[in-house]
């Protein structure tokens, strides 16, 4: 998460302290580059110390603190707005995973690499192996063909 200068909307979340299994209902807000929790538990942490999980179609987003505590956030839309307000941007890999063009490009690249390997690398490797075989091994192979 990156820093925001103005307070963004509050997002409801479930906080787990990392030491017990107790659930704490909290709201997450961000102001001046600091994430603040309020509710059953109170906590503040600089955004630079937090890790945000990647987007998933069905799972809650997770924000992990440096000490192992974490938030689970089910309000995807509200959290996306909060992330945008902080300047957070998903990694290139995450953006490609959520783009049909990215997935299609990756599939095409995989097919192209397989074809390249089959048409060029496999014959080249066979040639290198054949050139590296001692003459005695080549003769034994030839005798087995008769």
Q: Are residues 16 and 84 in the same domain?
A: yes
pLDDT for 98-133, tens place per residue? 788 888 998 999 999 999 999 999 999 999 998 888
User: What domain range includes position 60?
Assistant: 11-89
Instruction: Report how many domains make up the chain.
Output: 2
pLDDT in tens, 39-66: 999 999 999 899 988 877 778 889 999 9
Kindly report the length of the chain: 146
**CA dihedral angle for residue 55, residue 81, residue 19, residue 39, rounded to 10 degrees:** -150
CA angle 113-91-16, nearest 5°? 130
115 in the same domain as 51: no
Cα angle value 50/2/36 (rounded, 5°) = 55
pTM (two decimals): 0.60
> Of 39, 49, 43, 31, whose CA–CA distance to 13 is shortest?
39
Question: Do residues 115 and 79 share a domain?
Answer: no
């Amino acid at each position: 998460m990156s820093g925001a200068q103005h307070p963004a909307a509050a997002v409801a979340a479930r906080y787990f302290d990392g030491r017990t299994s107790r659930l704490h209902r909290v709201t997450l807000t961000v102001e001046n580059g600091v994430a603040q929790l309020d509710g059953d538990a109170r906590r503040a942490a600089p955004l630079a110390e937090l890790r945000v999980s990647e987007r998933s179609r069905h799972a809650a987003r997770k924000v992990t603190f440096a000490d192992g505590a974490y938030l689970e956030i089910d309000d995807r839309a509200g959290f996306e707005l909060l992330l945008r307000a902080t300047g957070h941007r998903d990694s290139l890999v995450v953006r490609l995973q959520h783009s049909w063009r990215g997935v299609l490009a990756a599939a095409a690249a995989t097919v192209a690499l397989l074809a390249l390997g089959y048409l060029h690398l496999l014959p080249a490797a066979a040639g290198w192996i054949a050139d590296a075989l001692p003459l005695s091994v080549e003769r034994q192979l030839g005798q087995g063909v008769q």
